[in-house]
Copies of this chain bind each other. A is one copy, B any other.
Amino acid sequence: MLDYNRDGAAIYRESFAIIRAEADLARFPADLESVAVRVVHACGMPDAADALLFSAEAGHAGRAALAAGAAILCDSRMVAEGVIRARLPAENPVLCTLDDPQVPALAAQLGNTRTAAALELWRAYLAGAVVVIGNAPTALFRLLELLDAGAPRPALILGFPVGFVGAAESKAALAEDSRGVPYLTLRGRRGGSAMAAAAVNALAREER
């Protein structure tokens, strides 16, 4: 038998203690601190906390929306899979429209990626929703365009696209002008579905 910690609850406690010791959490509002901890936990990098940008009301807005039954709109199936259903306060619907059969035609029509085109199918759910972008920069850019064009306003935008083309730029655009919508995002190229889902999971239930 190898020597390692086999107790899931103890592993969580120890992990969160290490994160609180290593990450600089002083600048977070009380209701976003646990979100920062969960995001760091998902990526293994304490300095990710330093790259989080947010509006002060993001924590409250996200929790209130989830408690009221808000839909959770995800840009990728990995994000949707990472949302822990048992933590959700109101059996909130978790939607990813990327595989809808209408999406390829919409993408051709819009001249955009499939991931961006999939947002056309969010319109009926956008009002008051929690939007979670954990993969595609084009999805975040497209969301800002939809808001500029008068689409219904979500309650919160969690912006975690990852990568080398458009990720940093789309998140900077969100942080510079979130179109009046509360937001949390990660500056730079880093991001991804695990961090995005972790932010939802942190807002869905307060840590004990």
Contacts and interface: CB of A to CB of B under 8 A. Distances in A.
Contacts of A194: 78, 162, 192-194
How many copies of this chain does one complex carry? 2
A91 interface: no
Contacts of A138: 4-6, 8, 11
A200 B4 CA distance: 27
Interface residues of A, number: 50
Contacts of A189: 44-45
B4 A162 contact: no
A169 B111 CA distance: 47
Given A44-B191, A194-B162, A144 B2 contact: yes
Interface in A166-202: 166-167, 169-170, 173, 188-194, 197
Interface of A: 1-2, 4-8, 11, 14-15, 18-19, 41-45, 77-78, 81-82, 110-116, 137-138, 141, 144-145, 162-167, 169-170, 173, 188-194, 197
